[in-house]
Structure 1
Amino acid sequence: MILDKSSVPVETVNFHLWQPCNMSCGFCFAAFRDVRRTVLPEGHLSRADAESVVVKLAEAGFRKITFAGGEPLLCPWIADLVRLASEMGLATSLVTNGSLLDDGVIDRLRGTLDWVTISIDSLKPPVLQVLGRRTAGRVIDGHGYRMLCHNVKTSGFRLKVNTVVTSVNWREDMSEFIIESRPERWKIFQVLPVQGQNSAKVGPLLVAPEQFEAFVARNLRVELHGVHVVPENNDAMTGSYAMVDPAGRFFDAVDPHGYTYSDSILQVGVAAAISQIVISREKFLARGGLYGDALFDAADPAGVR
Structure 2
Amino acid sequence: MEVLYILIFLFIYYVIRILLNIYKQPKCINLNYKFEKKKKIPISVNFHFTRKCNYECGFCFHTAKSSDIPTIENSKRALRKLSESGMKKINFAGGEPFLYPKYLAELMDFCKNELKLESVSIISNGSKIKRTWLQKNRDNLDILAISCDSFDEETNIKIGRGSGQHVKNLYEIAEWCHQLGIKFKLNTVVNAFNWEENMNEHIEILAPFRWKCFQVLILENENGGFDGTLRDARRFKISTEQFEAFVERHKTQKSIVKEPNNIMKNSYLILDEYLRFLNCTNDEKVPSDSLLDVDVDTALQQAGWDESAFFQRQGIYNWSKLPNNGCTGVNDSKKFDW
TM-score higher than 0.5 here?
A: yes
Give the corresponding residue for 2:223. Answer: 198
SS at match of 1:85: helix
- Number of residue pairs the alignment of both structures matches: 283
1:194 and 1:152 map into 2 onto residues whose CA distance is 33
Q: Which residue of 2 aligns with 1:53?
A: 78
Residue 70 of structure 1 aligns to a residue in which SS? coil
Q: Name the counterpart of 2:268.
A: 241
Who is 2:48 aligned against? 16
- Cα RMSD of the aligned pairs, angstroms, is 2.0
1:273 to 276, 283, 299: 299
Q: Give the superposition deviation at 1:254.
A: 0.9
CA distance in 1, matches of 2:178, 2:276: 33
**Residue 178 of structure 2 aligns to which amino acid in structure 1?**
K
Q: Contact 2:45 / 2:269 at 8 angstroms: preserved in 1?
A: yes
Q: Which residue in the other structure is 1:111 paired with?
A: 139
Structure 1: how far apart are the matches of 2:166 and 2:269?
32
TM-score normalised by structure 2 residue count? 0.79
What one-letter code is carried by the residue in structure 1 that aligns with 2:145?
T
Q: Distance in 2 between matches of 1:16 and 1:77?
A: 13
Structure 2 partner of 1:186? 211
| CA deviation profile, 1:58-87 (whole Å, cap 9, x unmatched) | 111110000000001112311110110112
Inter-partner Cα distance in structure 1 for 2:127 and 2:51:
16
Matched, 1:207 2:238: yes
Secondary structure of the corresponding residue to residue 26 of structure 1? coil
Q: Is the aligned partner of 1:63 residue 2:88?
A: yes
Secondary structure of 1:57 counterpart: helix
1:232 pairs with 2:259: yes
Following TM superposition, by how much is the alpha carbon of 1:302 offset from its aligned partner in structure 2, in angstroms? 6.7
Matches within 5 A, 1:116-127: 116-127=144-155
CA distance in 2, matches of 1:295, 1:174: 33
CA–CA separation in structure 1 for the residues paired with 2:56 and 2:250: 26
Say which of 159, 170, 190 aligns to 1:131: 159
- What letter matches 2:260 in structure 1? N
For residues 184-210 of structure 1, the C-alpha deviation after alignment (integer angstroms, 9 at most, x for no partner) is 100000000011211222011111111
Instruction: State the 1:301 CA deviation.
Output: 10
SS in structure 1 of the partner of residue 185 of structure 2: strand
Structure 1 residues 8 and 146: alpha-carbon distance in aligned structure 2, compared to 1, 3 A threshold: same
Deviations 1:117-168 (Å, cap 9, x if unpaired)? 110111111111111111xxx2334333222211112111011100000100
Quote how far apart the aligned CAs of 1:10 are.
4.5
Seen in structure 2, the aligned counterparts of structure 1 residues 92 and 8 have a Cα distance that, compared at 3 Å, is: farther
Letter of the 1:77 partner, please give it.
Y
SS at structure 2 position matched to 1:268: coil
CA contact (8 A) 2:311 2:333 kept: no
Task: Tell me what 2:11 maps to.
Answer: none
| C-alpha deviation, 1:245, in angstroms | 0.9
Matched-pair contact (CA < 8 Å) for 1:238–1:252 = no
CA separation in 1, counterparts of 2:312 and 2:333?
A: 17
8 Å Cα contact 1:26-1:132 kept in structure 2 = yes
Partner of 1:3: none
Please report how far the alpha carbon of residue 296 of structure 1 lies from its aligned counterpart in structure 2 after TM superposition: 2.7
The answer to which of 103-112 and 155-164 deviates more is 103-112
Does the aligned pair in 1 maintain the 2:50–2:69 contact within 8 Å?
yes
Q: Is 2:251 the partner of 1:220? A: yes
Distance in 2 between residues matched to 1:102 and 1:283, nearest whole Å? 35
Q: Distance in 1 between matches of 2:203 and 2:334?
A: 32
Query: Structure 1: where are the runs of 5+ without partners?
Result: 1-5, 37-41
The Cα of 1:248 is off from its aligned counterpart by 0.3
Check conservation: 1:94, 1:116, Cα contact below 8 A: yes
Match of 2:23 in 1: none
Matching residue within 272, 281, 305 for 1:254: 281
Q: Which moved more, 1:286-295 or 1:151-160?
A: 286-295
Partner of 2:313: 287
Identity of aligned residues (%): 32
- Runs of 4+ with deviation above 2 angstroms: 6-10, 138-144, 293-297, 299-304
State whether residues 8 and 61 of structure 1, in contact with CA within 8 Å, keep that contact through their aligned partners in structure 2.
no
Q: 1:32 to 1:59 in 2, by over 3 A?
A: farther
Unaligned runs of 5+ in 2: 1-37, 226-231
Shift of 1:115: 0.5
Query: In the aligned structure 2, how far is the partner of 1:48 from the partner of 1:239?
Result: 29
